[in-house]
Amino acid sequence: MKITGKIEEVRAQVKAWKKEGLTVGFVPTMGYLHEGHQSLMKKAVENCDRVVVSIFVNPMQFGVNEDLDSYPRDLEADAKLCETTGVDLIFHPEVDEIYADGFCSFVDMNGLTKELCGKTRPIHFRGVCTVVCKLFNIVTPDQAFFGQKDAQQLAVIRRMVKDLNMDIQVVGCPIIREADGLTKSSRNTYLNEEERKAALILSKTIFLGQKLVEEGETDAKTLLAKMRENLETEPLAKIDYVEAVRMDDIEKTDVIEKDVLVAMAVYIGTTRLIDNFIVS
Ligand code: AMP
């Protein structure tokens, strides 16, 4: 496995692979990798001949009061996990390799971003789309792998790829959870012992929501009220949002039916955590 911070080296390597007729899978990440990221890499290894993982904490997708500086980083552990999973190349650029002096071109998403995380993180998806578009142009993968954990991001990337005619297949991968239900996330490291316990209210509420839907609940208002009520039983939890939207356009819906995304963001102390399920 090779590690590089240079765009030109990634381009040269991918070009050489393509010349041999090999397919390329791509997993964009911000590092501090865990089994959630690994599930995407495994899928990429399964689907493609060669796999590129990017590790880049993208400043453009963080708001001013967010955790850019404290975001956890551990390149050594990340490299080990990538190597054992069968990744061929890690792209780990410095910020100025991605955003050169005078950088002023952006990918802005007009739809899909006014609800859910777009409400509290107004510049987030512009940053995500811009960096993912750039990474796609650098890596030119056949397939790119994204987790359903960030379901709005997955919908936004699918839309961007469609709208901008990118010749890339976007593969969505299921949420990977800890044994007790908490979604695996690099941000879980911010939680102290008490908060870690309290954080279980998210997955418990997701499972409650799924159960209510399985039992026949189709009214979004009723479902969301019951889920909110459950979240409010945890004193350390502060709800950012609990909403039901259509997965394709991230617009609110009154009816719970197939392909509706039920998503939440909840603060546990100062840590903002997300979780969701999609009605199947
Ligand atoms: P991040 O490093 O947080 O930007 O995540 C990189 C990719 O890994 C995104 O597509 C995430 O949705 C995905 N991912 C992160 N955590 C999980 C998880 N617990 N299960 C599935 N995918 C995940």
Ligand 1 close to Cβ of residue 256 (< 6 A): no
Q: Six-digit token pair at 78?
A: 């990340």
Q: Quick one: pLDDT at residue 110?
A: 93
Q: Which of 149, 152, 160, 203 to mutate to test the pocket of ligand 1 (most atoms within 8 A of CB)?
A: 149
Nearest alpha carbon, ligand 1 atom 11: 147
What is the reported pTM? 0.98
Q: What is the DSSP letter of 217?
A: -
Query: Which of helix, strand or coil describes residue 155?
Result: helix
Question: How far apart, in whole angstroms, are the C-alpha atoms of residue 4 and residue 25?
Answer: 17
Task: Give the chain's residues under pLDDT 70.
Answer: none
Question: How far apart, in whole angstroms, are the C-alpha atoms of residue 161 and residue 137?
Answer: 12
Ligand 1 close to Cβ of residue 186 (< 6 A): yes
Q: Quick one: pLDDT at residue 149?
A: 98
Say if CB 255 and CB 218 are below 8 A apart. yes
Using one digit for the tens of pLDDT, what is the confidence trace for 117-150? 999 999 999 999 999 999 999 999 999 999 999 9
Based on the residue annotation, tell me whether 37 is a catalytic residue of this protein. Answer: yes
Ligand 1 close to Cβ of residue 196 (< 6 A): no
Q: Quick one: pLDDT at residue 165?
A: 98
Say if CB 155 and CB 112 are below 8 A apart. yes
Q: Which of 29, 32, 37, 154 to mutate to test the pocket of ligand 1 (most atoms within 8 A of CB)?
A: 37
